Structure 1
Amino acid sequence: MLTISYQHPYRGLGGSSVNLQAVFASLLFALFMLWIPWEELVGKEFEDKQVYINNFLYLKSIVEDKDLSGLRDFFFNEVLWDVLVRAAMDKLGIPIGVILNAVTFLCLFCFARFLAVRHGVLSILLLVNPLVVDFAFSQLRMAFAVSLVLLALSLRSRVALCATLVMACFIHTAMVLFIVMYLVAVQVSLWVRKRNFPVYTLAYIAMAGGALIALLIGPLRGSLLSSVGDRRAEYELGAATLSYASFWIGLLATVPLQKARFYASRFNLLSVACLATFTFATLMGVFAARFISALFPMLMSLMLTLGRPVREVMLLMYLVYLGLQWHYWFL
């Protein structure tokens, strides 16, 4: 019988049969989501996707347009995305629509597999969310980079892991922040297993880390990016409303109620820092919704590893929140 597993992510992920089932279910999920004509259902196109299509069909390569040279230029202009897509179009003759659909498929597959191997195939249903749809179908460059990071974390070869992470960073520089957050979470989770840390201390350390990141991407963002010559120093996006952020703030509020073993999961620690970043950034009036979208499967995993009865309450609240999301998404 299919059930949702509430096991903690740091425990064993099951044998080969469990992994095969997870892979098969994830493939079916990605294909099904790709088959749905979302743009027709919503009645409008995915704006960012159309920008990518126009750029690749009608504009010159960013390498030629900006006359880039040197590793620093290639990194801060995130050239690898442009290079890979144009190579697939020009060298292999693959249509741009097929390429972008392949990125969407990869993202959906990686998100689904992350949950399925840890919590069973039914947990994949938690991904049927407008945030995931918009991220996978529209925020394609970041979706590709996040997918590479998730794939890298499942690799056993250290060389392959490092190479994949470097690729992800040259596709989207935000991956540097996510990777640093992950490495800190790994180190803290190791400390948790070796020492008897007070639970509230761990919760507030992770939250303080999120508050620091919120400062870096908020009030300090412009000066930091300007100092390294990043092209996004002047970009401004509106923050999420408190009503939109309410569920995620509520989920963060449950963290101090958890037992110590909850914090032994590096993914839970990363998720707590992500929730704290989003919460503090929203209170500062800073856009940080992509922290939720990019780490969405980890946030669902965190919710599924909450202790009772908090987990059941948050699952019910999530379903209500999800219904409201779909309602407003189709308006």
Structure 2
Amino acid sequence: MTLSKLQAATDAPGPRPIRSVPETVVVSAVFTVLLTAFPWPKIFESMQGAPLYDRGNYLEQIEDGYLTYDWFSYDSVLEYFTYEYLWGWALRQLADLGIPGETILNAVAVAFLFSLSCTVAYYLPVPYLLLLVNPLVLTMAYSQSRSATMATLLFLAAITFRRHRILAVALVLVATFVHTSTPLFLLLFFSAYYKRDSWGQPNSVVPPILGGAVVSLLTGPLMGDVLSVLNDRRAEEYDMAAGWLFLSFWAYCLVFCVLMWRRMGQLLPVRLAVAVFSLAAFSIIFGGYPSRFISVFFACVVVALAIDFATYRRSALTLSLFTVYSLLLWYLQMR
């Protein structure tokens, strides 16, 4: 391809949603029902030889009456945040109504997977929903239930922000008292929403890249200091380093999205994906643990890496690498 043709392809009008909101909801609901029909906790237990760790802890805490809410005395507003009051309160209220812990956590998984499915179904054909069948997504949904709840609330806030800002703010506040890391996710959201850089350039790739870099710094060398300032109970145990091989693929994805930015950069999911890719890339330098962020924004990752191929039938290499990478994650789960 000549330079002029390459420039013309890069400057082509960006991709757009392919479905209306009602159609997206129906497609996503059907896919979510089919996906959650599989007994994923048992599947992971058979592959790993042990139950999902966080899920098992939550179920024991609910059954034994040992949620933080059950024993901790909240003496300040800050402790309602650092000890995630609303998470324990909600679980205890639902359990007291006679709802089994398994049912509660499964409902969290359904809500989280539905929210991710809506993002993919809005922009991509139905077959691309299969890319959500990924161990990062499913372990987030079924094991890291507190993070999944927080993520679902933030997605709802993002959807309602334009027309119902008071509701969106309320959802963010609830999420904040469900999971301490909510401000870090909000930072990524804000960096994706902000489209001008300090030089006034519109639709700039700089804000999401900077947002990812800052979060990488905060979750890497500064995490212990941040938690200590907040008097968080995990200040001494927070060690979430990820391997460079895991991170290098996402660094490649960052380069890909920057090269395709003129064509895709207007889409919010792409901007969020770039913030996450930046977080992972800078984690090679700063350390940290971007897996949780990748899992939460995995639908945005799918849109960013697949929409160029789905729309223009280009970028087949990136989509192929992503598919191979996902299969490799499943292989590692079974070892």
| TM-score normalised by the chain length of structure 2 | 0.85
Deviations along 1:146-199, whole A, 9 cap, x unmatched? Answer: 1121123223422222212211111012122212321232121xx49xx764x8
For residues 227 and 136 of structure 1, the distance between their equivalents in structure 2, rounded to whole angstroms, comes to 30
The equivalent position to 1:315 in structure 2, one of 311, 316, 319, is 319
Correspondence for 2:250? 248
Stretches of structure 1 that go unaligned for 5 or more consecutive residues are 1-6
Contact residue 78 and residue 171 of structure 1 kept, 8 A: yes
Is the alpha carbon distance of 1:310 and 1:222 closer, same or farther for their aligned partners in structure 2, counting shifts above 3 Å? farther
Q: Number of residue pairs matched?
A: 316
Contact residue 210 and residue 275 of structure 1 kept, 8 A: yes
Deviates more, 1:142-151 or 1:211-220: 211-220
Instruction: Please give the residue correspondences for 1:1-331 in structure 2 after superposition, counting only pairs within 5 Å.
Output: 11-12=16-17, 14-15=19-20, 18-34=23-39, 37-42=42-47, 43-90=49-96, 92-155=97-160, 156-188=163-195, 191=196, 197=202, 202-306=204-308, 311-331=315-335
Amino acid of the residue matched to residue 71 of structure 1? V
CA RMSD of aligned residues (A): 2.5
Contact residue 25 and residue 121 of structure 1 kept, 8 A: no
Correspondence for 2:10? none
For residues 29 and 225 of structure 2, the distance between their equivalents in structure 1, rounded to whole angstroms, comes to 46
Is the alpha carbon distance of 1:234 and 1:67 closer, same or farther for their aligned partners in structure 2, counting shifts above 3 Å? same
Residue 93 of structure 1: CA displacement? Answer: 0.8
Is the alpha carbon distance of 1:232 and 1:8 closer, same or farther for their aligned partners in structure 2, counting shifts above 3 Å? farther
Residue 17 of structure 1: CA displacement? Answer: 5.2
Task: State the secondary structure of the residue aligned to 2:221.
Answer: coil
Amino acid of the residue matched to residue 148 of structure 1? L
For residues 45 and 226 of structure 2, the distance between their equivalents in structure 1, rounded to whole angstroms, comes to 41
Amino acid of the residue matched to residue 132 of structure 1? V
Amino acid of the residue matched to residue 62 of structure 1? T
Amino acid of the residue matched to residue 167 of structure 2? A
Residue 289 of structure 1: CA displacement? Answer: 1.5
Residue 207 of structure 1: CA displacement? Answer: 2.4
Contact residue 120 and residue 299 of structure 2 kept, 8 A: yes
For residues 36 and 172 of structure 1, the distance between their equivalents in structure 2, rounded to whole angstroms, comes to 22
Residue 321 of structure 1: CA displacement? Answer: 1.1
For residues 179 and 205 of structure 1, the distance between their equivalents in structure 2, rounded to whole angstroms, comes to 13
Contact residue 104 and residue 136 of structure 1 kept, 8 A: yes
Deviations along 1:259-297, whole A, 9 cap, x unmatched? Answer: 424222233222211111122123333222211111111
For residues 137 and 269 of structure 1, the distance between their equivalents in structure 2, rounded to whole angstroms, comes to 27
| TM-score normalised by the chain length of structure 1 | 0.86
Residue 34 of structure 1: CA displacement? Answer: 4.7
Residue 139 of structure 1: CA displacement? Answer: 0.7
Task: State the secondary structure of the residue aligned to 1:231.
Answer: coil
Task: State the secondary structure of the residue aligned to 1:153.
Answer: helix
Contact residue 80 and residue 167 of structure 1 kept, 8 A: yes
For residues 260 and 65 of structure 1, the distance between their equivalents in structure 2, rounded to whole angstroms, comes to 53
For residues 117 and 64 of structure 2, the distance between their equivalents in structure 1, rounded to whole angstroms, comes to 34
Stretches of structure 2 that go unaligned for 5 or more consecutive residues are 1-12
Contact residue 220 and residue 288 of structure 2 kept, 8 A: yes
Deviates more, 1:260-269 or 1:274-283: 260-269
